[in-house]
Amino acid sequence: MEQLCINFTNEKLQQLFVLEQEEYKKEGIVWEFIDFGMDLAACIELIEKPMGIFSILEEECMFPKASDTSFKNKLYDQHLGKNKAFEKPKPVKGKPEAHFSLVHYAGTVDYNIIGWLEKNKDPLNESVVQLYQKSSVKLLAHPYTPCTGGGKKGGKKKGGSMQTVSSQFRENLGKLMTNLRSTHPHFVRCLIPNKSKIPGLMENYLVIHQLRCNGVLEGIRICTKGFPSRIPYADFKQSYHWNF
């Protein structure tokens, strides 16, 4: 589930590169449009749209008798054969079972859904919040309100259900995207040089794989074809001028 959230975030951030190309179009620059941003749409919609993966996950968390199997069956009924980004994975000997595959822009990723329902409901967080509510020490600025089915009975507010992990994630991601679109963002990518945690060791395949999955290679491809440096010449000269 964490990997899905990470990959989904990368897909959303990747779309920001489309804005650079739109800027070229506005300025009338002769430009061969790279439509990789459109390729992202199918996977993004599959994850976030109504009756998408997150939507079905939220729905299943509302039913006490829901299980990993019922969650998987709903995903297959809704998307298998209907969305090109959703696939049934092929069994791979020696690897954990995968329940579905998503065709991300950087490649196809297999996902195992065991425990997603419990993780999304975050029962540990719920129990901790309830514990502090009973405490005389008031640490919570926004107290937890148990799910009441949306009614007003008992004086509880309508819609006061516990926020799930996926809904909180999407809310935070939405705020991040709003902030990025209103500013001029600069990204810093953190790369894992090797899987052995050995200093000075660079595994080229691992690094290239991360650069490709994070959209860095595509960003470089766009910048090398376009005009990414939009600063006055005097400022540019001051930044790179050396006095010897």
The predicted pLDDT at position 135 comes to 47
Of 62, 47, 45, 39, nearest to 6 by C-alpha is 47
| pLDDT tens digit sequence for 114-134 | 989 888 887 555 544 454 455
Rounded Cα gap, residues 123 and 131, in angstroms: 12
The predicted pLDDT at position 34 comes to 65
Residue 86's CB is within 10 A of a number of other CB atoms, namely: 22
Q: Please tell me what DSSP assigns to residue 62.
A: T
| Whether 25 contacts 231, CB under 8 Å | no
Flag whether pLDDT at 53 surpasses 90. Answer: yes
Q: Which helix (H) or strand (E) holds 122?
A: none
Flag whether pLDDT at 168 surpasses 80. Answer: yes
- Highest mean pLDDT (candidates 85-94, 158-167, 234-243): 85-94
Walk across the sheet containing 107-111 and list its strands. Answer: 86-87, 100-104, 107-111
Flag whether pLDDT at 107 surpasses 90. Answer: no
Rounded Cα gap, residues 242 and 244, in angstroms: 6
Predicted TM-score of the model (pTM): 0.63
